[in-house]
Structure 1
Amino acid sequence: MSSIEGKVVVITGASSGIGEATARLLASRGAQVVLGARRIANLRNITSSIRSEGGRADYRELDVTDENQMIDLIQYTMDTFGKVDVIVNNAGIMPLSKLEALKVDEWNRMIDVNIRGVLHGIAAGLPIMKEQGGGHFINISSIGGHEVSPTAAVYCATKFAVRAISEGLRMEVGKEIRVTNISPGVTESELAESISDERARQVMKEYRKNAIPSEAIARAIQFAIEQPADVDVNEMIIRPTANEN
């Protein structure tokens, strides 16, 4: 039996990309996955597909910038399945542009989704994990959380923040709760679709030619979850082999 069998895993940003791939992979390994995202039609289709293949899946509409919605998702999971083993804080956006473009609304949106979204997941899940005596937070950062590039200053700042939050949480929660920070390099996803700046969009289009599939990150998440309880995979960086950055 897989060590993931029977675990209850909540995944934010689960309507496409890494979140969808993770939901499908973990469900195929016997986990009960609960998907959260704003695009409810996508969630419905993914959940139906997982169920048709014998997996166990459920979904709820979720905007991670709304703390109450995040709390409701975790409480729904508790009420339905009696526990929350893993929370994958995956939701994120990446509307890149140079600072001189002054796209302040996009800066604020990145801060809200990429930082506050992770904090809301922690705030909703931490009391439950402490009460049940265990759990696992997996926070999705980025290679942008390790280095900064033009047009990506604010995005990178949010991903540096995710790394800092993950490390602080790891040090504070003690031995009962595991914390993993995963930093994908260029990965196939819809992140680039949020770029409104045309020059940044073209640069990213070229940069993403060597993207790895989202399933590669899903496998990393699986690896972190399936470790024995006394092993905490703290941080992983996953890049395309062909990428020089």
Structure 2
Amino acid sequence: MNASVTRTNRKIVLITGASSGIGEATARHLAAAGHHVVLGARRTDRLALLVNELEAAGYSAEYTELDVTDRASMTRFTEGALARHERIDVLVNHAGVMPLAPMSALHVAEWDQMIDVNLRGVLHGIAAVLPSMLERASGHIVNIASTSALRVDPSAAVYCATKYAVRALSEGLRQENSDVRVTVVCPGFTQSELADHGGAAEVQDAVRAATQQIGLPASASAEAVGYAIAQPASVDVSEIVVRPTAQN
């Protein structure tokens, strides 16, 4: 166990979308810090490899299949963790998709997908962990948004709308209680698979090119998550923006 984390402050951390990108990097970072990570995603083959790697390094990890768009799946994910560990200290809502295209392209199915994964998935996560956290008067919900929650760009209107919503509901939840901490992390261009699926080819190509040129490693945002959850219970780091210096 990492010297900075003792048995008294070791946390049970649930991470959605943990099979790639910032979710995977967060799993690595928090496990290395001495926390126990419970990983969820649809691609369980990737989760199994990651957990095996973490355990081989002497860290503590497990995984469960998870579809954040299915509330029953999220309930199984969280209730299973509660049954095994008797508490959930942190939920990191990371799962997200980003098929960018002009609205005139009418990619309505992809609009629905972004709403289901990026927004409804976060709400499912909150609904699943909030009751037990409020009962214990302790807990921390970390929602991964985006710098797209701070500005709107052409071809990203629906994606931005979902991330603005995540930022808004995070702030609302923070204000509604004094026991559960809430942090929203807003990454800028980050090396990940986000631009590899769906959307308009020319838009996604431009995003990939920009990411290759200035994108941060996913570990930058993982370290931001680690910083937020390491603060004393009396300190709520409500928002962190992590962007490349070269990003306008």
Q: Is the TM value for this pair above 0.5?
A: yes
Q: Deviations over 1:134-177 (max 9, x none)?
A: 0000000000000011110000000000000100000112x211
Report the 3-state secondary structure (helix = DSSP H, G, I; strand = E; otherwise coil) of the residue aligned with 1:240: coil
Identify the residue that residue 222 of structure 2 maps to in structure 1: 218
In the TM superposition, residue 15 of structure 1 has moved relative to its aligned partner by 0.2
Q: Distance in 1 between matches of 2:35 and 2:21?
A: 19
Amino acid corresponding to residue 157 of structure 1 in structure 2: A
In the TM superposition, residue 72 of structure 1 has moved relative to its aligned partner by 0.7
- Identify the match of residue 110 of structure 2 among 106, 109, 124: 106
Identify the residue that residue 164 of structure 2 maps to in structure 1: 160
Q: Is the aligned partner of 1:28 residue 2:32?
A: yes
Q: Distance in 2 between matches of 1:194 and 1:165?
A: 26
Q: What is the RMSD computed on CA atoms of the aligned residues? A: 1.0
Q: Distance in 2 between matches of 1:105 and 1:11?
A: 26
In the TM superposition, residue 201 of structure 1 has moved relative to its aligned partner by 1.5
**Bigger mean CA offset, 68-77 vs 201-210:** 201-210
Question: TM-score if structure 2 supplies the norm length?
Answer: 0.96
Q: Distance in 2 between matches of 1:3 and 1:147?
A: 37
In the TM superposition, residue 3 of structure 1 has moved relative to its aligned partner by 4.5
Q: Distance in 2 between matches of 1:66 and 1:222?
A: 27
- Identify the match of residue 48 of structure 2 among 27, 44, 50: 44
Question: TM-score if structure 1 supplies the norm length?
Answer: 0.97
Q: How do 1:123-162 residues align onto structure 2 when only pairs under 5 Å count? A: 123-162=127-166
Q: Is the aligned partner of 1:193 residue 2:206?
A: no
Q: Distance in 2 between matches of 1:51 and 1:181?
A: 29
Aligned residues: percent identity?
Answer: 51
In the TM superposition, residue 206 of structure 1 has moved relative to its aligned partner by 2.5
Q: Is the aligned partner of 1:172 residue 2:176?
A: yes
- Identify the match of residue 181 of structure 1 among 162, 166, 184: 184
Amino acid corresponding to residue 187 of structure 2 in structure 1: P
Amino acid corresponding to residue 104 of structure 1 in structure 2: V
Q: Is the aligned partner of 1:10 residue 2:14?
A: yes
Report the 3-state secondary structure (helix = DSSP H, G, I; strand = E; otherwise coil) of the residue aligned with 2:246: coil
Identify the residue that residue 208 of structure 2 maps to in structure 1: 205
Q: Distance in 1 between matches of 2:144 and 2:5?
A: 22
Q: Deviations over 1:211-236 (max 9, x none)?
A: 00000000000000000111000001
Q: Distance in 2 between matches of 1:54 and 1:164?
A: 38
Query: 1:27·1:33 contact (CA, 8 Å) conserved in 2?
Result: yes
Q: Distance in 1 between matches of 2:135 and 2:51?
A: 29
Report the 3-state secondary structure (helix = DSSP H, G, I; strand = E; otherwise coil) of the residue aligned with 2:135: helix
Q: Is the aligned partner of 1:84 residue 2:88?
A: yes
Consecutive unaligned residues of structure 1, counting only runs of 5 or more, are none
In the TM superposition, residue 45 of structure 1 has moved relative to its aligned partner by 0.3
Q: Is the aligned partner of 1:71 residue 2:75?
A: yes
